[in-house]
Amino acid sequence: MNRLKRVKLNQLKVKDSFWSPVQELVTDEMIPYQEKVFKDEIPDVEKSHALANLRIAAGMEQGEYYGMVFQDSDLAKWLEGAAYSLVIKPDKELEQRVDAIIDIIEKAQQPDGYLNTYFTIKEPEHRWQNLLECHELYCAGHMMEAAAAYAETTGKDKFLHVMERMADHIEGRFGTDKERGIPGHQEIELGLMRLYDVTGKDKYLKLAKYFIDERGQNPNYFKEEKQKRDWDHFHMDPENTFYNQSFAPVRQQRTAEGHSVRAVYMYTAMADIAGRTGDKELYEACVRLWDNITQKRMYITGGIGSTVEGEAFTKDYDLPNDMAYAETCASIGLIFFAKKMLDIEPAGKYADILEQALYNGVLSGMQMDGKKFFYVNPLEVNPGISGELFGYKHVRPQRQGWYTCACCPPNLARLLTSLAQYAWSEGEDAVYSHLFLGGEFDLDKAFISVHSSYPWEGRVVYHVEGKQKSAFKIAVRIPAWAQNPKVLLNGEEIDVDSCRKDGYCYLERVWGKEDILEVSFDMRIRKIYANTAVREDAGCVALMRGPLVYCFEGIDNGELHSLRVCTGKEAKAKERVCTEGIFKGMTLLKVPGVRMTGSEQLYSETAPSSEPVTLTAIPYYAWGNRGINQMRVWMLEKR
C-alpha cells in the first residue's frame, strides 16, 4: 500500500479568491466570535461556559460546571482552529490568549495526568466508568488534536506535553492486558494518531489501533460497562449497537450505520491506521464503507446521516430532503475520511466527494457573516413547516448564533483554517494537487504557486519551482465531471488521456525553476439525476456547476413546489455573474422553468397549466442569507 505524506500547514499559504475571504472571515470574525462565546460574552445565544468550566477545574474560580458533558471539546476544536489560524494570519495577541488558556488547561490537569472539567468538577468519583455516554475519551481526543496542531504551527510544546501526559494516563489504563474500554464517541483514535504524528511515539498508534479493534468484539464492551455501573448520564441503551458502530468488529462492517459523526470519525481513524501500518483488511473495510456512503447514503451536497433520530445513517437510498439531518460535523468528518483514503490511494472518487462536501454541505453550515451556523443542512426548507411541525422540528429555516450542543461551529473553524492540508499530499515520487486552491505551497519537492478562480472558472495555473534534480510527478486532479479537460505544460498541450489515471493527470519530468502547468476544463451547468431508487428525488433534477450544487430560494422564485425546471434540449440554463449585493462575484444560474397554476380547489380534474418563467438558482452554500424563505435543491423536472 502506497502511503502519501500529509503536508504540514506551515508550508502552505492560501491566496485564493474564493477561500481567502472565507478564511479571513474565520480568522477575523468566527474565531474571535467563538472565543467570546466560550467566555460567555455574547448575549442572546446559548451559553457555553467552556472557559469558566476550565478555570473552575483549575481551581482559579469558584462556581458550578455548566453545559454538556463534552463541553471541553468545543473549546478544544476552537484551540485547534486558532492554532491553524496563526499560520493564515499571525496574531500575537491571539497567541498570547491561547497560551493563557493553555496555562489554565495545565492547571486543570490532575496530578495523574487526567484532564476533563466535567469529571474534575462534578463527578470525580465517576471517572472512566461510563465511556458509553460521558465523552471522556472524546474530549481527550480533541484536546490532543489541538495540542498537536498548536505544537506544529507555533513550535510551542507545553500543550503537547499536557496532552501526552493525558495520553499516557489513558494508555496506562486501557488496552490489551489492561482494563477493557472503547470510546462511546470515537475521536480519541484521531487524537492519538495526531500525537503519533507529532511525537512519533508508537504507543499512541498502538492504543489508537486497540480502540479501533476492540469495538464490536464479543462481549460488547458497552453492555458489560452498563452492568457494572449503577448510574447513567444520557440513559443510552447499549443494546443500540448500531448507534455507536459496535454491532460488529469494524473490519467486518459493510454498511455505514448509526450516528454519522461517530461513524466517519471512526472510519477516518481506520483509514489513517490502515495507511500507516499497511493493514489491508482494515483498508478494505474502509473502501467498502466509503462506497456504501457515497454510492447509497449521501446527499448530493455531501451531507450524510439522513435522520435526526440518533443523528444517523438510515437505509440505502433513504435521503429525505425536507427531513434531512446532514449535520455539518458529519460532512466535515467525511472530508477527514476522504483525505485519509486519498493518502492511501489518490483517486478521484475520494477527492471529488471531498470537494463536493466542502463546497456544499460543509460551507452551508456557516452564514456569510461567519457568525451564525447550521447544525442541520436540509435540502428543502418550507417556512411554517420546517422547524415547527413534527418530523421537521430539527430543520431550522435559518442559522443560529450558537447551539447547546455546539460541535459544528468550532469544527468549521478548524477545518476551514487547515484547508490547505486537504489540497495537497506528497508521495515518494509525486506531488498531488487535490483541490484547486490558489496560494503558495512550499512542498518538499517543489515550490508551487497556484492561481485559480475556481469554483467560478475552470482554469488553474501552477507555477512550479522544482527543488530536486531527479524527475518526479505532479499529479493534478481532473474532476470526473470536467468536460474537455486541457492541460498545458509551458504552453504546450499535453494529451490528457495518456496521462490520466483514477481522476488525476500525472506529469513526470525533472521540474525546472519556472515551469508553468495550466489545467482548464469546461464548467458547464450540469443537470443531475438521483438514482431512481431515491424516493424523495423521483421526478426531480438538481443543478451543479463545477463542484457547486445549486438551489432555489423562494425570495427569487416564489412558491418552489409549483415550479418545474425545464430540461428539454432547447432549455438551456445560463450563467450570470452577480454584480452587487451579498452574492457579488458569485455565478448564479438563470434557469428556464414553468410555473404551474391549477384550480383553486383542493382536488380537481383540472390539470395545472404552465407558464414559462426564468428561475434563479444560487449556490447551495449561500442559501438562507436573505431571511427565512423557502429553499429546494431538487426541483421537479419538466422534460
Residues belonging to the active site:
311, 407
Is residue 636 part of the contact set for a second copy (CB under 8 A)? yes
Question: From CA 325, how far away is CA 377, in angstroms rounded?
Answer: 6
> Interface mask (CB under 8 A) for a second copy, residues 560-589, using x and -?
-xx-x--x----------------------
Site string for a second copy, 504-533 (x = CB under 8 A): ----------------------xxxxxxxx
DSSP state at residue 109? S
Instruction: Answer yes or no whether residue 360 interacts with a second copy by CB under 8 A.
Output: no
Comparing CB distances to a second copy, the nearer of 214 and 311 is 311
**H-type helices in 429-501, by residue range?**
496-499
- Is the Cβ of residue 227 or residue 484 nearer to a second copy in the bound state? 484
- Are 211 and 182 in contact by the 8 Å Cβ rule? The answer is yes
CB of 495 to a second copy, least distance (A): 24
Q: Based on CB atoms, which residue is closest to a second copy, 388 or 428?
A: 388
Question: Are the beta carbons of 50 and 455 closer than 8 angstroms?
Answer: no
Q: How far is the CB of 325 from a second copy (least distance, A)?
A: 9
Q: What sign does the CA torsion over 630, 633, 634, 639 have? A: positive
Task: Kindly tell me which of 210 and 313 has the beta carbon lying closer to a second copy.
Answer: 313
* Residue in the structure block whose three cell numbers are 470510546: 183
User: Quick one: 190 or 560, whose CB is closer to a second copy?
Assistant: 560
- Specify whether the CB–CB gap between 429 and 473 falls below 8 A: yes
Please report whether residue 382 would count as binding a second copy according to CB under 8 A: yes
Q: Considering the rule CB under 8 A, would residue 389 count as an interface residue with a second copy?
A: yes
> Which three three-digit cell numbers place residue 635?
426541483
* Binding residue for a second copy, selected from 172, 384, 585, 612, defined by CB under 8 A: 384
484 near a second copy, judged by CB under 8 A = no
Q: In the window 295-314, what residues touch a second copy (CB under 8 A)? A: 295-296, 298, 300, 307-309, 314
Q: Which stretch binds a second copy (CB under 8 A): 204-212, 238-246, 426-434, 557-565?
A: 557-565
Q: Judged by CB under 8 A, which stretch of 178-186, 450-458, 498-506, 593-601 contacts a second copy?
A: 593-601
357: number of Cβ within 10 Å: 27
Measured CA distances, 140 to 147, 154, 393, 461 (Å): 10, 21, 32, 42
What is the C-alpha to C-alpha distance for residues 396 and 322, in angstroms, rounded to an integer?
11
| Signed CA dihedral, 420, 422, 426, 431: sign only | negative
The residues with which 440 forms a beta bridge, in sequence order, are 13, 449
Closest CA to 341 of 299, 287, 301, 291: 287
> What SS3 state is found at 277?
helix
Nearer to a second copy, 314 or 449 (CB): 314
Candidate residues 598, 612, 614, 627; the one interacting with a second copy per rule CB under 8 A: 598
- Write out the binding residues for a second copy, residues 424-483 only, by CB under 8 A: 481
Q: What is 370-431 written as a DSSP string? A: SS-B-SB--SEE-TTTTTTSTTTTT--SS-BS--SS--HHHHHHHHHHTTHHHHEEE-SSEE
Stretch that binds a second copy, among 205-213, 245-253, 370-378, 605-613 (CB under 8 A): 605-613
Strands 548-553 and 609-619: antiparallel
CA gap 495, 519 in Å, rounded = 12
Count interface residues toward a second copy (CB under 8 A). Answer: 55
136-144, 210-218, 381-389, 574-582 -> range binding a second copy (CB under 8 A):
381-389
277 binds a second copy (CB under 8 A): no
For the residues of 197-225, what is the DSSP string, one character each?
Answer: HHH--HHHHHHHHHHHHHTTPSSPHHHHH
Piece in contact with a second copy (CB under 8 A), picked from 72-80, 97-105, 148-156, 554-562 = 554-562
Q: Is 585 or 598 the residue whose CB approaches a second copy more closely?
A: 598
Kindly state the smallest distance separating residue 359's Cβ from a second copy, in Å: 15
Instruction: Please name the residues in contact with 138: beta carbons below 8 A apart, sequence gap of 6 or more.
Output: 70, 73, 183, 184, 185, 186, 187, 188
Among 108, 443, 534, 566, the residue binding a second copy under the rule CB under 8 A is 534
| Nearest to a second copy of 162, 338 (CB atom) | 338
Among 287, 555, 596, 628, binds a second copy (CB under 8 A): 596
Residue in 40, 123, 168, 318 binding a second copy, rule: CB under 8 A: 318
> Which residue, 177 or 600, is less far from a second copy as judged by CB?
600
What does DSSP assign to residue 2?
Answer: -
Minimum CB separation of residue 533 from a second copy in Å reads 7
- Which residue's CB is nearer to a second copy, number 2 or number 483? 483
In 435-512, alpha helices (H): 496-499
What's the number of CA atoms in the CB half-sphere (13 Å) around residue 319?
26
Q: Rounded to 10 degrees, what is the CA torsion of 209, 213, 216, 218?
A: -130
Q: Does 165 participate in binding a second copy (rule CB under 8 A)?
A: no
Give one DSSP letter per residue of 537-548, joined into a string. GTTEEEEEETTE
143 near 116, Cβ under 8 Å? no
Give the residues lining the site for a second copy (CB under 8 A). 294-296, 298, 300, 307-309, 314-315, 317-318, 320, 323, 382, 384-385, 389-391, 481, 526-535, 538-539, 541-542, 559, 561-562, 564, 567, 596-608, 636, 639
